[in-house]
Amino acid sequence: MKHFLLFFTLIFSFSTVTLYLSERLDVYSLNYDSFNAYFEENSDGSLTLHWEKLNYPAYYVVETCQKTTGILDSTVKYHILDTFTTHSNSYKLENFSLPLYYRITAYGIFGRIGTPTEYLENPHFPALKRPIPIFRYDEINKASLMPFLVWHKVPTAVCYEFELLSGLPDSEGGVTLSKKNHLFNTREIFTNGYQADLRKFSEHKHLYYRVRALGLHHEPIGEFSEAQKIVTDKNLPFPNRPLVNDFDVIKGYAALLYPVFDFIPLNGIKRYEVELLTEPPKMPNNAEPTANRVWFKILENSITAYDEYPRPYAGAYYFRVRAIDSNGNTIGVYSDTKKFEVKEYKKRARLAVFGDSITHGGGAVSYSPASLEYSYNTYLDIPAINLGRSGDTSATSLERLERDVSHFKPKNLLILTGTNSLRTPTISAKEVIGDIDEMEKICVAKDIRPIFLTLMPINPQNILFAFQAETDPKWREKLKKINDHIKSKNYFIDLEPYFYDEKRENMDTEFSIDGLHPDIKGKMLMAEIINLHKHLIRE
């Protein structure tokens, strides 16, 4: 028995040393100079990233990254948005709407093998901004005469123009409607999908569509997408329920304390109801509301529902949406049910973020906080709980502070609130300062370190155009008083100087299309500034 144990120990030791030397000395030529990786388009239009599998026991980590703004530190080139671990040599890309990059690193038993690959750019998102279809209708997968057409979002697009054609356009791309084969167009599309009504065009042998992204003033911000053929079958039933919009969603982030629900509407229907449940409905895609639902909201001319109540308790939640008529009767049936999870925190979180819609998320007028690329929280180096709520003034932030932070009791709290107070003539700088001081007292009493962010400038002209709302003409004077007070605090991060236009007067449109909410580049810059001040965030 002793001889057997000795023999086994020797064999195990020899194998371990051999494996270690194989990894460390590159016995199997694991150097990545010849490491092959490529993208392949799938039949559904999605992409899969493939790479050469090493002739050695290994697993692979795929990092999904986005380029930084490069404004503060040109040496830090990428934000890591997600990591995925696999023993396979392929990875199906999620439906992101960003020009993302991917890097693959191999790991063996004793750590990393070789060097990571270069950052590989997703070929679906070149510099030229063109929507890319997610749903395609061909001879195998035919469309009804009222199909949902869905495409990948174009970053910072406020709305889209849809064009229907009876044949191919004059030329591919461009920013003008086709003179040849043009049938119909609309600019009233404020999300990345549209239920097209093809019934009156069914006599045409061929139908094609294309889409382009538009900015705040309906100016083109990219070319038309490649014309897509729609193969129809007039005998197919029409989709009769809204489509929950979970396309291009960044995965792996904690749920918002105040949830937000997006959907793609039915053609011509303006009224909807969203319901929230704590268990799946017993009858999916039915027409009747759930008896034990915990919340519901009726929407008029909107495709986004904001839950006004916090959802701090861990567990699964479910939501769905139905179209309704003026009497509250269901048009068609409920949408598919979507699930989201609220994470349980068994110990104090290190960091939470708190404030109004700038913290909650969203931007470019049409993107809600559900689009996490418009959240500065996404780009922070330290994971944080999002306790933001859209619409807050400094006073309403103060009202809910104790309630909303008590459940999580984070060690550090980034506080950015008062922008809505800034633009409201009836709210003075003194009131905002008083609210800030009270927030500080509450945090200190709960052993939470309050780290205040200075308010950023706003752009009244863009706010007026985007929201038809006037801005207090004394906002600059109020901004200075509030920010001077914030900079007297023990812990603060100064955002304000980085967001001005060339004249140093207003929020630069480069960072915020609507003049109020920073867009993707603005949210990234906010996070990059905060990341430079990580020393303020205690362990």
For 87-131, list the strands marked E by DSSP.
Answer: 90-92, 101-108, 111-113, 120-121
Fold topology of 148-239:
Immunoglobulin-like (2.60.40)
Q: What percent of the chain has pLDDT over 70?
A: 93
Q: Of the CATH numbers 2.60.40.10, 1.10.10.10, 3.30.499.10, 1.20.1370.20, which one belongs to the domain with range 2-121?
A: 2.60.40.10
Read off the DSSP letter of residue 512.
-
The hierarchical CATH code for the domain 241-344 is 2.60.40.10
Q: Sorting pLDDT into bands at 50, 70 and 90, what band is 52?
A: confident
Q: What is the residue whose two structure tokens read 């999605």? A: 46
Region for residue 45 given its phi and psi (left: phi exceeds 0; alpha: psi -120 to 50; beta: otherwise):
left
pLDDT tens digit sequence for 119-167: 999 887 766 788 989 999 999 999 999 999 999 999 999 999 999 999 9
Mean pLDDT on 251-269 = 92
Q: Per-domain residue ranges for the chain?
A: 2-121, 148-239, 241-344, 346-539
Q: What is the pLDDT, as a whole number, of residue 53?
A: 86
Q: For a pLDDT cut of 90, what percent of the chain falls above it?
A: 80
DSSP letter for each residue of 160-204: EEEEEESS--SSSS-SS--SSSEEEEEEEE-SSEEE---GGGTTS
User: 2-121 with 148-239: one CATH topology?
Assistant: yes
Q: pLDDT class for 206, splitting at 50, 70, 90?
A: very high
Q: How many CA atoms lie within 13 A of 42 on its CB side?
A: 14
Average pLDDT estimate for 337-350: 92
Cα four-point dihedral sign 448, 449, 455, 456: negative
Determine the pLDDT at residue 32. Answer: 47
CB 277 within 8 Å of CB 317: yes
pTM for this entry: 0.90
At residue 254 the predicted structure's pLDDT band, cuts being 50, 70 and 90, is confident
Q: Domain 346-539: what homologous superfamily?
A: SGNH hydrolase (3.40.50.1110)
**pLDDT (0 to 100) of residue 21:** 53
